Amino acid sequence: MSDEMIRMTATEAVACLQSREISPLDLIDAAERRIATVEPAVNALPTLCFDRAREHARRLMAGGRRDAETEPGWLGGLPVSIKDLMDVAGVRTTYGSPIHKDHVPTASHPLVERIERKGGIVVAKSNTPEFGAGGSTFNEVFGKTRNPWNTALTCGGSTGGGAVSVATGEVWLAHGSDHAGSLRRPATYCSVVGLRPSPGRVSRGTPNNLFSPLSVEGPMARNVADIALFLDTLAGLCPHDPLTFEAPAVSFVEALQRPTAPKRVAFTADYGGKITVERETREICAAAARRFEALGAVVEEASPDLAELERAFMILRGQHFVVAHGERLKTHRDLIKPDIIWNTEAGLKQKPEDLAWAERERAAFFRRMATFFQTYDLLVTPGAATPAFDVDLRHPATIDGEPLTNYMGASMVNAAITLSSQPAIAVPCGFDRFGRPVGLQLVGRPRGEAALLQVAWLFEQATRIDKQLPIDPRPGAVPPS
């Protein structure tokens, strides 16, 4: 029965909870057994909190903490993982940093409070790079997280532990965050689904960058229906976040019941040569994008003009890092990894004129995207510039033979969409010749999550790659460059 439960989708498990075929305690037991089985191979959930989880479950089963039971996104006692960048009351929360290796918060983040109010039960914290900075999940506190499809490879970052936790069946849903692809890239590497919502769709709660749209919180799951369910859990106005707005009148789960196919789809493998993407990835993604033709869509090769967007992104990211880490560099420089120091110091060296130029460039790109989406209903790109790489590397050494000069060099296929503030979802689309997962990034209109989820669901029905999950971790070797 335990094996049957971990193979249920989140949607199926919640239905069984509501019908009382199973209890929250049953699912917690199943999750605990599964975690004990797979964790030695992947290191996705380094901090566990089963006593706290069972206490929450017993309160739910006794009729307490059920005031949100009739609201969209009710989880009914479903175990979830929370990225180790977000506080959970009474649970060790390190932010992946040795500075905070012994930190145990007394209060939960507002989004964790929302998840628990909606019947989610936190059973673990998922591993992340230090302060969420990096495209490979490792840190000095807990070490590296491995890809379950090939444990010699990275799971990506920064929501790497979350991606692995749902791919292997340790939990049914995972919370994550995304700045330059931190939900989309791990989802691609682990053959799961990760959604970067529009800024303001989900509360960020407590960061000092409250008025910046670069970083967002979002859901990760094994399939699109489960993403819709978890987005209903997460979405809505939050008094702690000035960018948030009300959840939609029609829930995302309900919207998924009436999917509408796109009429016109734009596919680009590399934005007209502006972004380097590995050749086999380009070919797999181009073939996968043609699946929308079977849904009645016209698929064309087209892309918005990026102009100098990469430079603009790095300037804005540098400023973001100054706000987040500038003071920390003064007090704990010796405990911070070089990538964060480099990114923060780059921001400190910038002039006001640089920031002004980057803001103008971002605004111009948004206007170009708005014009682009007057012609197209959907933009499709690769979910990542490369497949998963060596778990011992901070970033891939090269992309299609071109060396990378910094740890952000493989991120622009995702970061470009970050600057447009449009929702984007990563969905599995196949495997390369070495068996590494490849995914698509589907981009919708601003605040157009409902339509985007419908399109992603239709694509998922055509591929059914989600049926391969959860998987047992597989040992392997690093493919040749």
Residue 250 covered by a domain:
yes
Eight-class DSSP state of 384: S
23, two tokens: 């209890």
Residue 128 covered by a domain:
yes
Residue 345: which CATH number? Answer: 3.90.1300.10
The number of C-alpha atoms within 13 Å of 182 and in the hemisphere containing its C-beta is: 28
- State how far Cα 202 lies from the chain centre: 13
Q: Are 194 and 383 in contact (CB under 8 A)?
A: no
Residue 25 covered by a domain:
yes
pLDDT along the chain (481 residues), means of 10: 92 98 98 98 98 98 96 98 98 98 98 98 98 97 98 98 98 98 98 98 95 98 98 98 98 97 98 96 98 98 97 98 97 97 98 98 98 98 98 93 89 97 98 98 98 98 97 97 78
125, two tokens: 């914290």
Task: Quick: pLDDT tens for 315-370.
Answer: 999 999 999 999 999 999 999 999 999 999 999 999 999 999 999 999 999 999 99
Eight-class DSSP state of 109: -
Whole-prediction pTM: 0.98
Closest CA to 96 of 108, 105, 86, 88: 86
Is there a catalytic annotation at residue 118? Answer: no
d(CA 145, CA 164): 8
d(CA 168, CA 24): 19
Is there a catalytic annotation at residue 23? Answer: no
d(CA 123, CA 1): 19
Residue 372 covered by a domain:
yes
d(CA 289, CA 268): 9
Residue 478 covered by a domain:
no
Total domain count, the chain: 1
Give the range of the structural domain holding residue 157, as residue numbers without chain letter: 2-468
d(CA 454, CA 257): 8
Is there a catalytic annotation at residue 467? Answer: no
In sequence order, the β-bridge partners of residue 79 are 121
Residue 383 covered by a domain:
yes
Residue 268 covered by a domain:
yes
Task: Quick: pLDDT tens for 105-153.
Answer: 999 999 999 999 999 999 999 999 999 999 999 999 999 999 999 999 9
Active-site position among 83, 118, 125, 337: 83
Residue 97 covered by a domain:
yes
Q: Are 87 and 106 in contact (CB under 8 A)?
A: no
At position 59, the amino acid (one-letter code) is: R
Torsion sign (Cα): 352, 357, 361, 366: positive
Active-site position among 136, 158, 198, 303: 158
Q: Are 275 and 385 in contact (CB under 8 A)?
A: yes
Active-site position among 81, 126, 136, 182: 182
